[in-house]
Amino acid sequence: MKHIVTILGARPQFVKAAVVSKALKDRGIKEEILHTGQHYDHAMSDVFFEQLNIDPPVKNFNIGSGKHGEQTGKMLAEIEKWLLDQPQLPDALMVYGDTNSTIAGALAASKLHVPVIHVEAGLRSFNRKMPEEVNRVLTDHISDLLFCSSEIGVNQLEKEGVNKGVHNVGDVMYDAVLTFSEIAKEKVNPANLPVNIDEPFYLMTVHRPSNTDDPQNMAAILEAVGSIDKTVLWPVHPRNKKRLQEMKLPQNLLITDPVSYFEMLLLLKSCTKVITDSGGLQKEAYWMEKPCVTVREETEWVETLEGGWNQLTGPNAEKIIHALKNEPTTDWKPVYGDGKASEKIAEVIGSQS
């Protein structure tokens, strides 16, 4: 495989692509990036290309937000049209994770008989009510190369009858954390951050519709936040700001605009604990050796649960408050590979005829 088209659309995918794209380039593999525009705010999109030194996309479809079917359908149509407009189809199309951009890209390629590469394959929350779960299952079953973050993903695919083209390479986000943590210290002026990182604070991200679109769930999370005797910093996704205006917010909650990836790394490195419903931040908190409370009922990243480094509470105030009082019961140990997942991915892709 000498020519890859990569589909990106959401913040975590830009971070993953930064390290994988470099590895592909180092092996002489041509890559063209298509940006669906799923995340369209500058602070959550363009800035990542600038900071992480990713080649600009050859096309931005500017799809924006919308209902799942509408958004996915628009992406599918635009990706298919772009592929058909090219003089020659690529050797493969690569997608990351579990977003609507992921399944749209995988479907468009599969229907044109273009091999599909899925990074972060084999993950399961076993909750089909989550759109992400549907996206990742469907993508895995139409992919030709599947790169897993751990042996658990490999085993899950085996259970589902997917056993060809499966590789356990580790997690590319671990590569990114190792690569960019030191750079973040140089690039970010602490004085420009929304909180004093020399004083104790908690870092929170809540963005899943199951929490933010449910007033009862959101009220429970905010109740738990109000019980904390430290500042809780919450960089808020643009779509959720209006909803918060209708809610009673605890005095210790500090709401800010979305922060850059480098700023998030520095905040994560400096915080006391993490509260989140994000899949990626659960892992990043673990790698930074920060205790994490996940306000979901399940997680795809089950390895982080060992020793209480990550605790599942759901949007339940009592459970969140109890979990925040707990400390990990085991020593930290590395999970999800050795930080060279992107190199292994590029090696496998380059070896395909």
Q: Which are the catalytic amino acids?
A: 207
Task: Yes or no: say if 232 and 254 are a contact pair by the CB < 8 Å rule.
Answer: yes
What would the two tokens of residue 35 be? 């940006």
Q: Nearest to residue 7, comparing CAs of 31, 32, 27, 34?
A: 34
CA distance 294 to 302: 12
Query: For residue 292, what are the contacts with CB-CB under 8 A and spacing of at least 6?
Result: 273, 274, 275, 276, 281, 282, 285, 286, 304, 309, 310, 311
In angstroms, rounded to a whole number, what is the distance separating the alpha carbons of residues 53 and 64? 23
Q: Where are the beta strands (DSSP E) in 17-74?
A: 30-35, 59-60
Is the CB of residue 7 less than 8 Å from the CB of residue 17? no
45 and 61 Cβ atoms separated by less than 8 Å: no
- Residue 201 vs residues 197, 228, 269, 271: alpha-carbon distances, Å: 8, 10, 11, 5
Q: Which residues contact 119 (CB under 8 A, 6 or more apart)?
A: 16, 20, 94, 95, 96, 97, 147, 172, 345
Greatest CA separation for the chain: 61
Question: Residue 16's closest CA among 348, 284, 302?
Answer: 284
